[in-house]
Structure 1
Amino acid sequence: MPASKPKIGIVISTTRGNRFGEKPAKWILEIAEKRSDMEFELVDLRDYPLPFFEEPVSPAWGKPASEVAQKWAAKVDSLDGFIFVTAEYNHAPSGVLKNALDYAYNEFNRKPAAFLGYGGVGGARAVEQLRLICVELQMAPTRNAVHIVGGDFMGLWQQGKTFEEYPHLAQSAEVMLDELAWWAKALKSAREATAREKEATAA
């Protein structure tokens, strides 16, 4: 039986009413869905209105009491990798994204994370912080990312420009997706092998 394709969640990581994040998220989904090596879906944090983290223990050690958090953890668990579409708030990712990352742990382990940042410096500082957080979650953050910087960002956000007018962004997206595909397949295979070994040991 052929191995199933890795399932990748494209996470829209801001929830403001006038957010820009939907635009690049839908753009990267359109590019990604032309591929045959992975499956993709949008994951909108608006659909997971998590309270500020207030669990008695880390999700690494116990199941969250919050029903929304349990729903979020189940979604994370169903995915084999992630593309975090991130804004940059004061040199950092959004508070709602950090909170969402804090509400799961084991479900993130040994899965790749890629990044699409936007803003004045393309969300670069937010992406760097996310890479550190992902390492603590035992994920594999990838090197190549898409950064929608300065003039490109303003053109798309306020000047009515389209992504087709910035072909260099599509080129960056393909490089990012190629790298993500390698890690997603490798880590999915390794996780499945570990699960089989545990089952054999328990039998």
Structure 2
Amino acid sequence: MGKVIADALRPLFPAVDVFSSNNLDPLNYMRNARNVYTDGTVANGITGTPGRQWGFSAGTGTVNAAVSKVARTDGLPGEWTRLTIGATNTANIIASGGVLWDLTGAAGRKPGDVITAAIEVRTTGLVGVSQFNGGAYHPNSQHLALQGTWQQGSGPVKDGTYTLMVEGATIQAAATYLQSVTATGGTVDIGRAAVFKTPA
């Protein structure tokens, strides 16, 4: 039934891309909204070169993961940062993207503000998944993460490209990640991202 309704409404309400084609869009608070360049950071045994203002770290356990940049072939702006997870991995891999912020709101965002945030994720061949979820905003690290859960607990994550979105999230002063995954194989590509202040 839902598909029937969606098909009927689609001509009246065409899909809107929440991601900006301009990496300097003043309304998008992501520092590197298109995930370009190769000077991000890795830690805790993860290797490779993520996009600028993106960081990859790991929790406890055996870390077997690497990141790399992948060109887009779909004609959309930006690039992918690919996380490749090896078979011996038992650690939770955490990806976080830099966001413009300040504690007073002079730059437009501060803890307590309500935002809509979205991230473009592409998954291929994920196996042994025990976590695939999101967290909350952490101003001390200048990284964005989302309040809300994509998929909590074990289970398959189907191959595909997704826009993971949380609307009406309150910027918090705790938690640490945007996209996290615990798996024993497969890839997760992170593409474009957006953070917009939700109108009052």
Task: Compute the TM-score of the two structures, normalised by the length of structure 2.
Answer: 0.30
Q: TM-score, normalised by structure 1?
A: 0.30
Higher relative contact order (CA 8 A, sep 6+): 2
Greater share of residues in helix: 1
Q: Greater strand percent: which structure?
A: 2
